[in-house]
């Protein structure tokens, strides 16, 4: 049973970070208050039809918190065409520059270029591989709340899709970002463990440490690069779900540095610009172990 202290409770051991499935909290009492509405600069902000549709799909996330059951979305042809556009645009870049694990995982999850995948089907496969779970959410929540849910092997995920007028762009997470960016990597055991540890850390963190964890999240889960096949490949969701970001990450404008945790957690960045520096991890296990060391200093 979830209590009010869910997000402020402290895990007491990092060594034993794998919580038993029966001890994972239910979703009915997710204590979220400040979920961000559609941002004003959103391309759909002035389109009443889009707003109504987004509100309807956001309503399904609210319903999820009452029932604990994810509802499939009956996506329209216009929404499907946005997915197909982004998929087609990214296809070649993915084949060349996405991490081999990601490519395999995407296939195993049944994510195709033809149609928007449903959270229910991906959630089932995640459960079978790493025990991660998807929880629909209607917008952005604050860093501490978002990261803390990773501690319970839960990834908060939007279900609506960006506006059709600019299929290559979204100022907020959407189903393209979640399914094409984030979800496949959560079937990797080391990556899933790492994410869960970041969640544990968020429950322990001071406000200053939350900022550090936000940077760690940004330069790994969102914009991370990994050594693979004698080359550098992308595993971060912000890269994998954006043609522009992906192209930029492998251009001469970016310095691709060896990952150093101390440096990353202190590396300030600007959300509104493309990153001039990105970090390359040798393996996901390395990332997990470096993070474990860091979190142990917090306990
Ligand atoms: Fe993201």
Chain segment 196-232, per-residue pLDDT in tens: 999 999 988 999 999 999 999 999 999 999 999 999 9
- Please state the rounded mean pLDDT for residues 38-56: 90
d(CA 197, CA 199): 5
d(CA 243, CA 236): 13
The CA 136 to ligand 1 mean position distance, Å, reads 14
The CA 88 to ligand 1 mean position distance, Å, reads 20
Residue 287 has pLDDT above 90, yes or no: yes
> Could you list the active site residues?
177, 182, 222, 241
Nearest-5° angle of CA 194, CA 37, CA 212?
A: 30
Q: Does residue 44 lie in a domain region?
A: no
Residue 129 has pLDDT above 60, yes or no: yes
Q: Does residue 70 lie in a domain region?
A: no
- Nearest alpha-carbon partner for 82 in 111, 58, 115: 115
Q: Which residues pair with 157 in a beta bridge?
A: 136
> What band does 297 get if pLDDT is binned at 50, 70 and 90?
confident
Q: Does residue 293 lie in a domain region?
A: yes
Encode burial over 24-37: b for 16+ CB neighbours within 10 A, e otherwise. Answer: ebebeebebeebee
Q: Does residue 6 lie in a domain region?
A: no
d(CA 130, CA 183): 12
> What band does 254 get if pLDDT is binned at 50, 70 and 90?
very high
- Please state the rounded mean pLDDT for residues 77-93: 97
Q: Does residue 38 lie in a domain region?
A: no
196 within 8 A of 17, measured Cβ to Cβ: yes
The CA 135 to ligand 1 mean position distance, Å, reads 14
* HSE (side-chain half, CA atoms, 13 Å) at 199: 23
Residue 223 is part of a domain; what is its CATH number? 1.10.800.10
The CA 242 to ligand 1 mean position distance, Å, reads 11
The CA 74 to ligand 1 mean position distance, Å, reads 23
The CA 185 to ligand 1 mean position distance, Å, reads 12
The CA 18 to ligand 1 mean position distance, Å, reads 23
State what percent of residues in the chain have pLDDT above 70.
91
Paired tokens of 64: 């999820």
Range of the domain at 257: 76-134+141-298
Q: Does residue 67 lie in a domain region?
A: no
Paired tokens of 239: 């890269």
* pLDDT score for 4: 46
N- to C-terminal Cα separation, the chain: 25
For the chain, strand residue ranges (E) read: 133-136, 154-157, 225-228, 231-234, 255-258, 277-281
Chain segment 98-126, per-residue pLDDT in tens: 999 999 999 999 999 999 999 999 999 99
Q: How far is CA 64 from CA 1, 16, 173, in A?
A: 16, 30, 18
The CA 281 to ligand 1 mean position distance, Å, reads 19
Q: Does residue 33 lie in a domain region?
A: no
* pLDDT score for 9: 65
What is the number of structural domains in the chain?
1
Identify the residue whose tokens are 């509405």: 37
Q: Does residue 161 lie in a domain region?
A: yes
d(CA 38, CA 51): 8
The CA 213 to ligand 1 mean position distance, Å, reads 14
165 within 8 A of 79, measured Cβ to Cβ: no
- Nearest alpha-carbon partner for 179 in 127, 98, 123: 123
* Choice between 30 and 238, residue whose per-residue pLDDT is larger: 238
> What band does 233 get if pLDDT is binned at 50, 70 and 90?
very high
Cβ-Cβ contacts under 8 Å for 89 (sequence gap 6 or more): 168, 243
- Nearest alpha-carbon partner for 69 in 61, 59, 77: 61
């Amino acid at each position: 049973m979830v209590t009010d202290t869910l997000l402020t409770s402290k895990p007491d051991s990092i060594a034993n970070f794998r919580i038993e499935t029966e001890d994972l909290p239910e979703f009915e009492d997710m204590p979220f208050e400040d979920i961000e509405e559609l941002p004003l600069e959103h391309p759909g902000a002035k389109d009443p039809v889009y707003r109504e549709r987004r509100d309807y799909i956001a309503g399904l996330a609210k319903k999820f918190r009452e029932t604990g059951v994810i509802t499939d979305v009956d996506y329209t042809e216009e929404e499907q065409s946005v997915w197909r556009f982004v998929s087609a645009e990214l296809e070649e870049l993915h084949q060349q520059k996405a991490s081999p694990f990601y490519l395999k995982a995407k296939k195993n999850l049944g994510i195709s270029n033809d149609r928007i995948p449903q959270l229910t089907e991906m959630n089932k496969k995640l459960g079978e591989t790493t025990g991660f779970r998807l929880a629909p959410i209607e917008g952005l929540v604050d860093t501490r709340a978002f990261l803390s849910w990773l501690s319970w092997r839960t990834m908060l995920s939007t279900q609506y899709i960006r506006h059709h007028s600019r299929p290559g762009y979204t100022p907020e997470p959407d189903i393209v970002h979640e399914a094409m960016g984030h979800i496949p990597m959560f079937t990797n055991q080391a990556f899933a463990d790492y994410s869960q540890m970041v969640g544990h850390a968020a429950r322990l963190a001071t406000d200053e440490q939350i900022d550090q964890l936000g940077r760690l999240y940004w330069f790994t889960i969102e914009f991370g690069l990994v050594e693979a096949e004698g080359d550098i490949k992308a595993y971060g969701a912000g890269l994998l779900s954006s043609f522009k970001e992906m192209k930029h990450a492998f251009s001469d404008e970016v310095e691709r540095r060896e990952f150093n945790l101390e440096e990353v957690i202190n590396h300030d960045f600007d959300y509104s610009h493309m990153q001039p520096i990105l970090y390359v991890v040798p393996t996901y296990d390395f990332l997990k172990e470096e993070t474990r060391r860091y979190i142990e200093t917090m306990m």
